[in-house]
Amino acid sequence: MRILRGFWKLLVAIKDGLVLLLMLLFFGALFAALSVGGNPRVPATGAMVLALDGSLVEQPSDADPFAAIAGAAPVTREYRLRDVARAVDGAASDANVKGVVLDLDRFVGGGQAGLATLGEAMDRVRRAGKPVLVYATGYTDDSYLLAAHASEVWLNPVGAVLLTGPGGSRLYYKGLLDKIGVTPKVYRVGEFKSAVEPFTRTDQSPAARAANQLLADALWADWNQNVAQARPKAQLASYLARPEQIAATTGGDMATAAVRAGLVDRLGNRIAFGRRVAQVTGAGIGSMGIAGSYQAIPFEGWVAGHPERSSGTPIGVVTVAGEIVDGKAGPGTAAGTTIADLILKELAKGRIKALVVRVDSPGGSVTASEQIRQAILEAKRRKLPVVISMGNVAASGGYWIATPGSRIFAEPSTITGSIGVFGIIPTFQGTLTKLGLSADGVATTPLSGQPDVLRGTSPQFDRLIQLGIEDAYRRFTGLVARSRGLPQARVDQIGQGRVWPGGIARQIGLVDQFGGLDDAIAYAARAAKVAPADAYPLFIEREPNAFKQFATDMFRNDGSPGDQAATDPWSRLAGNPERLMGQALGDARRIANGPAIQVRCLECPVARTTPPPRDGALARLILTRLGL
């Protein structure tokens, strides 16, 4: 009977697999048929609408249709910064676009530097004499940074503007590890390389606290300056300093309080907002005549109908976004082999006149970082100018790959530095003892069976790994010293794993000048003796798989955050504890499962787009991550 039951299960599994395969083939054929039809039709004239139901990223990751089909994982949309910014910039000069509308109800967020870039594009639309209107049920730090650049900010009457600033708690594991008998063997160089502190301490060290406070203060000062310049009438200082007093003056009506403080222009629901858009932009009522509708041009349709420039002299642009890992991976992950191959294959074609490396990464593997650096050096060997453009974060391994650049551009809110190296190996001799287990064995050399996670690592192995860490740090500081024209001793002083905001990084010589990707491309063109007006960016990258995204969209379940996520800021703040727990556990897993020697910045407050676990899944997630 067991054999028959097993055979039956096998047949059912085969049947399910065939059904899934047929469904994928069907939708693949449907996708191909739709693709043949050309670009989606958009209204000839109207207001450009950016409904950012997700996060703003440097490079979107491939979607996972299998997870969507199984309903095993929520789907959060990712919007490529350069596509969104290009659409908004295009709206300024496109006579058919009467204004720009941002719907931020389900906006998850993005890095501060990227948000500032989009805000500048919104400013250019306003300078062209066109209105920019923003709507949301509630605004938090990231969404309000964008909203401040609008000509008219709308808020739902039941909503609020809740601004918290950077900061918060971090999870420390030492007490738990002690209880379950896990001994983390930590190897590091850098006084401020606090990525390993959660495994060795119950709180942050004084050095880490000082560095983290400086970074948070610098980012918050830049945020305040950006908002104050974009919306000078906002009484920002008093609203941030005494939020409870301001709320008390309106009996707890936070929406009215936001209007009185000048943070918001109008209160109203979506119908009223839509009518205002039709009135201000002259876009006209929507074709269906629904209350609050207007002639809308989806930004995706505009982008599809206005491809990126492809004429002139090509300036190569390669994007290094996400965690730096060994091997190959799709977009959104900086895989060493994948990115190096992209660069080398493009160089072999001999068509680009300069190379711009766009970095938005907190680092990761030393070997993958070096593999990418070597590919960039090949461009220098071919006498091509190499320019670095830093996005939201270019730290640790992200800075390692920036060292070949002859010029480094960054934003004041870019997070960079973290010049330090660490490694960590968990050992379980204490856990075995608590369980009444033990381990023993034989050896032929001092390194036999090392790292021995059952009995603990040997002194010889510990010394060997520490020497490797110290050598990697010397290499790192040496690369930075030669690249930046600084004494290695000076690099060691500003290194030590310390994270710097872009403004200070420029003062201490880690960055050359402020500017975005367009500024870096223009500089690279001039360095190649090409007029910037005659140059165009040739993006050297793997595009996200269109079929995977199509299949994911088709199978997105109703419980995904894009459909049912709360839009009010109170619920979003309430979800922060679980989100932080999930982030902390994910960071722990990345450290524990990563390479033995890493150049990674976990201190960097990079944009986190993963939603919190739902339906009480936090406890199960913790137990799963701990292997219990």
Facing residues of 240 across strands?
none
Q: Which helix (H) or strand (E) holds 472?
A: helix 459-484
The answer to whether the CB of 497 falls within 8 A of the CB of 194 is yes
The answer to whether the CB of 155 falls within 8 A of the CB of 136 is yes
Tally Cβ neighbours within 10 Å of residue 309.
Answer: 11
Closest CA to 539 of 370, 357, 329: 357
Q: Cα dihedral sign for 254, 259, 261, 264?
A: positive
Strands 334-335 and 363-365, sheet pairing: unpaired
The Cα 566–Cα 584 span in angstroms is: 23
Give me 33's structure tokens. 């048929």
Q: Where are the alpha helices (DSSP H) in 37-110?
A: 65-70, 81-93
Among the listed residues 55, 143, 369, 396, the single catalytic one is 396
The answer to whether the CB of 481 falls within 8 A of the CB of 488 is yes
Closest CA to 78 of 120, 110, 117, 48: 110
* Active-site annotation holds for 193: yes
User: In this structure, what are the phi and psi dihedrals at residue 431, rounded to the nearest 5 degrees?
Assistant: -65, -45
The answer to whether the CB of 561 falls within 8 A of the CB of 421 is no
Tally Cβ neighbours within 10 Å of residue 26.
Answer: 10
Q: Cα dihedral sign for 225, 231, 233, 234?
A: negative
The Cα 104–Cα 51 span in angstroms is: 6
In sequence order, what DSSP letters do the residues of 398-459 get, joined into one string? HHHTTTT-SEEEE-TT-EEE---EEEEEEE-HHHHHHTT-------SSTTTT-S-TTT---H
Quote the Cα angle for 266-269-270, to 5°: 110
Among the listed residues 98, 130, 185, 193, the single catalytic one is 193
The Cα 269–Cα 135 span in angstroms is: 9
At 122 the three-state DSSP class reads helix
The Cα 336–Cα 328 span in angstroms is: 7
At 77 the three-state DSSP class reads strand
The Cα 416–Cα 419 span in angstroms is: 9
Active site residues: 193, 396
